[in-house]
């Protein structure tokens, strides 16, 4: 069974600085997807970034980038130039690829609450 | 982007009554929908996988007679909490998997906060 672990329950960062959220996972699959979701106080889940395991290049989306280390099963999220609107709970998630009976079920980590301070 | 709508966003009910929560995919067909439960400051726990036209698949420990799921069409799944008790109070979130999506991206509803008095 797959598991996702986020070992940082809470973190804080000063506005405009950089912060890294950690995530490790365990799987015997060779191909899969990894995601970071953001859940602000509104509780709406927002996709931040995704990574396909067969791609060696780390995904980036504007101020958000990941450090994907497949052998170490590590998938950290770096937020650059932090903004007050980045304050939210962040979840790392794992998904097997769809097809061949896989339904696209997401397995979430415990979450990290990030506070961006002015 | 794709939109998933949940209704109601908030519901308060008396203990012993049943409550229905709807999850609709507004601009795409969803062959599979997922129902999650989330307690305050905790992660999303998958309750069940809802497949159009067939019975839902429940996760271990989730009472299927308590949490009835129906996926009658490609755009609608419903979760009914039967004989609700205060311990059922929680935030319920649905997500939908788009038919034909290559990378299995999921789209989330806004969530429904259930309070059982």
pLDDT digits over A63-114, tens only? 999 999 999 999 999 999 999 999 999 999 999 876 655 567 899 999 999 9
Local confidence band at B52 (pLDDT 50, 70, 90 cut-offs): confident
Q: What is the pLDDT of residues A5-15, one digit of tens each?
A: 999 999 999 99
Q: What is the mean pLDDT of residues B83-98?
A: 93
| pLDDT given for residue B109 in this prediction | 94
Distance CA A59, CA B92 (A): 30
Summarize chain A as % helix, strand, coil (round to 5): 5, 50, 45
Residue B69: which H helix or E strand, with range? strand B67-73
User: Is residue A20 a contact partner of residue A109, using CB atoms and an 8 Å limit?
Assistant: no
Distance from CA of A72 to the nearest CA of B (A): 23
Nearest CA distance, A29 vs chain B (angstrom): 16
For residues B98 and B62, the model is more confident at B62
Q: How far apart are the first and last CA of chain B?
A: 37
Reference B107, options B98, A67, A10, A70; nearest CA is B98
Interface test with B, best of A6, A45, A51, A110 (most B CBs within 10 A): A45
Identify whether the C-beta of residue A60 lies closer than 8 Å to the C-beta of residue A80: no
Q: How high is the pLDDT of residue A100?
A: 54
Tell whether B60 lies on the interface with A, counting CB pairs under 8 A.
no
Closest chain A C-alpha to B96 CA, distance in angstroms: 10
Q: Which of residues 22-61 of A touch B (CB under 8 A)?
A: 33, 42-45, 47, 50, 52
Mean pLDDT of A24-38: 93
List chain B residues with CB under 8 Å of A108.
Answer: 43-44
Q: CB atoms < 10 A from the CB of A54, how many? A: 11
Return the bridge partners of B93, or none.
B36
Helix (H, G, I), strand (E, B) or coil at B5: strand
- Please tell me which residue of chain A has the smallest CA distance to B59: A105
Partner-chain residue, chosen from A33, A44, A110, that has the shortest CB–CB distance to B43: A110
Nearest to B111 among A43, A104, A105 (CB): A43
Closest-CA distance, A109 to chain B, in angstroms, reads 7
């Amino acid at each position: 069974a797959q598991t996702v672990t986020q070992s940082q329950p809470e973190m804080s960062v000063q506005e405009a600085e950089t912060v890294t959220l950690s995530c490790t996972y365990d799987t015997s699959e060779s191909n899969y997807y990894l995601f970071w979701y953001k859940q602000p106080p509104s509780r709406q889940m927002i996709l931040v970034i995704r990574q396909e395991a067969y791609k060696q290049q780390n995904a980036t989306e504007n101020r958000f980038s990941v450090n994907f280390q497949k052998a170490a099963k590590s998938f950290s999220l770096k937020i650059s130039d932090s903004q007050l609107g980045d304050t939210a709970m962040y979840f790392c998630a794992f998904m097997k690829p769809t097809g061949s009976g896989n339904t696209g079920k997401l397995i979430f980590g415990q979450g990290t609450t990030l506070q961006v301070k002015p | 982007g794709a939109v998933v709508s949940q209704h109601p966003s908030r519901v308060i009910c008396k203990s012993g009554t049943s409550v229905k929560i709807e999850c609709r995919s507004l601009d795409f067909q969803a062959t599979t929908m997922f129902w999650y439960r989330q307690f305050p400051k905790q992660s999303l726990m998958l309750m069940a996988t809802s497949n159009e036209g067939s019975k839902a698949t429940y996760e271990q420990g989730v009472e299927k007679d308590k949490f009835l799921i129906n996926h009658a069409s490609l755009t609608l799944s419903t979760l009914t909490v039967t004989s609700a008790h205060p311990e059922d109070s929680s935030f319920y979130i649905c997500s939908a998997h788009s038919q034909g999506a290559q990378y299995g991206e999921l789209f989330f509803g806004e969530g429904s906060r259930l309070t059982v008095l």
